[in-house]
Amino acid sequence: MYHDLIISGFGGQGILAVGRLLAHTAMLEEKYVTFLPSYGPIMRGGTANCTVVVSSKPIGSPIVRNPQSAIFMNAPSVVSFEERVKTEGLILYNSDLVDKADSKRTDVDKIFIPANTLAEEAGSGRVANMVLMGAFIEITQVVGMKSAVKCLKEVVSEKHIDLFQADQAALIKGSEFARCHTPARK
């Protein structure tokens, strides 16, 4: 088993947090994993991205040019990374912030998820990242949803502990959405 993923969006959307969640969950499941964040002056409003590689074997490069999967939480991410996703790969879009018309690829599986809307329903607009991660896990089964939920407690920082319930609900909402909507090439 080998899977690599790029997650991209605005700083403040929890890009790195949700990447860490996936990495931590993979570690909990005793898989090999690397998590490489973009670093430096990232803050609310800037751009943030990270690369996560999960494998059953030791991982070579933590740097991935053409990922199998991508999660785009905002429109600039589509411009930066969409063309780099592997043919027949998978892209999850936050359709609350990404216009479907901006997506150019026709050779990958795509799923448009109203992540901010679902996050509001889960308790806070700030947990849209978890909605998308829930859907990613549901579609790819790279890690188990149960262990991801279990891991959440360890990964959520003290600063954001008030969002814990919403985080959990959002993960589940995302996975439910993915169960009802199959990614397609359109």
CB of 148 to other proteins, least distance (A): 16
Task: Tell me, residue by residue from 39 to 58, as one string, x for binding to other proteins by CB under 8 A and - for no binding.
Answer: xx------------------
Q: Does 64 bind other proteins (CB under 8 A)?
A: yes
| 50, containing H or E segment | strand 47-55
Closest to 70 (Cα-Cα) out of 139, 127, 150:
139
> Which lies closer to other proteins via its Cβ, residue 100 or residue 153?
153
For residue 139, give the 3-state DSSP assignment.
helix
Q: Does 144 bind other proteins (CB under 8 A)?
A: no
Q: Does 33 bind other proteins (CB under 8 A)?
A: yes
Q: Binding-site residue total for other proteins (CB under 8 A)? A: 18
Burial of 179 (0-12, 13-18, 19+ CB in 10 A): exposed
- Could you tell me how many residues make up the chain? 186
Q: Does 63 bind other proteins (CB under 8 A)?
A: yes
